[in-house]
C-alpha cells in the first residue's frame, strides 16, 4: 500500500494539539488546575477565601491553554522541516518505508509502539513522545479501511 502526501499546516497544528492533550501528565495537570479553580470559586462565593486563589487558578488555566493549544504546536511546526516535504510512504508486510527527495527511512513494524487515529491523521508512535503523522487527505475510504486493518494487525501485536 503506497501513499503520496504533503502536510497541511492547519491540520498538522490540530494533530499536534491532539498529541499534547493525549499525554497523561498534561491531562492530569489540566484536571488539577480545573479542580483548583472550581474549589477556589466555590470558597470565594461562600466567603471563605479572597478572590486571589480563583484569579490565580484562572490565570494558570489561561497560560496552560495558550501554551499547549497555540505556542507548542506552532513552535514544533516552525522548527521541523519535515512538514514542508513531499513524501511517498509504503506500508509493506514487514516494514514501513518513507521516502522524500533527500532520502528514505525504513521502520520495521516492531519499532512502532501504538497508533492513534485523529480526524485528519494516523499518528504512528515509536515511543510516548516520538511519532510520525500520516495524513488521511489523499486516502479514499477503502485505503483508509485497509490501512486501519493493517495497523491494527501489525502494531497492536507489539504491545
- Contact, 86 vs 132, CB < 8 A? no
List the pLDDT tens digit at each of the 159 positions of the chain. Answer: 999 999 999 999 999 998 988 889 999 998 998 899 899 899 999 999 898 988 888 899 899 889 989 999 999 999 998 898 999 999 999 999 999 999 999 999 999 999 999 999 999 999 888 999 999 998 999 999 999 999 999 997 454
Give the pLDDT score at 99.
96
Q: Which three cell numbers stand for residue 22?
A: 493525549
Give the pLDDT score at 23.
87
CATH 1.10.260.40 is held by the domain 85-158: no
Give the pLDDT score at 21.
86
Tell me the C-alpha distance between 84 and 157, whole Å. Answer: 32
Q: Give domain limits for the chain.
A: 9-79, 85-158
Give the pLDDT score at 57.
84
Tell me the C-alpha distance between 111 and 77, whole Å. Answer: 24
Tell me the C-alpha distance between 99 and 96, whole Å. Answer: 10
Question: What phi and psi, each to the nearest 5 degrees, are found at residue 139?
Answer: -100, 130
Strands, DSSP E only, in the chain? 2-5, 87-91, 95-100, 103-108, 114-117, 121-125, 131-135
Give the pLDDT score at 54.
84
Give the pLDDT score at 6.
94
Give the pLDDT score at 120.
95
Look up cell 480526524; give the residue. Answer: 119
Amino acid at each position: 500500500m503506497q501513499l503520496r502526501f504533503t502536510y497541511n499546516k492547519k491540520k498538522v497544528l490540530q494533530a499536534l494539539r491532539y498529541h499534547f492533550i493525549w499525554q497523561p501528565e498534561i491531562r492530569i495537570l489540566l484536571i488539577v488546575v480545573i479542580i483548583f479553580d472550581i474549589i477556589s470559586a466555590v470558597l470565594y462565593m461562600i466567603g471563605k477565601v479572597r478572590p486571589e486563589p480563583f484569579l490565580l487558578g484562572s490565570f494558570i488555566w489561561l497560560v496552560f491553554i495558550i501554551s499547549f493549544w497555540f505556542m507548542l504546536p506552532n513552535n514544533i511546526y516552525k522548527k521541523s522541516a519535515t512538514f514542508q516535504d513531499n513524501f511517498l510512504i509504503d506500508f509493506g508486510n514487514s516494514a514501513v518505508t518513507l521516502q522524500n527527495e533527500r532520502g528514505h527511512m525504513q521502520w520495521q513494524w516492531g519499532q512502532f509502539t501504538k497508533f492513534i487515529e485523529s480526524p485528519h491523521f494516523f499518528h504512528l508512535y515509536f515511543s510516548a513522545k516520538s511519532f510520525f503523522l500520516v495524513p488521511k487527505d489523499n486516502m479514499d475510504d477503502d485505503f483508509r479501511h485497509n490501512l486501519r486493518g493493517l495497523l491494527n494487525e501489525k502494531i497492536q501485536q507489539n504491545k
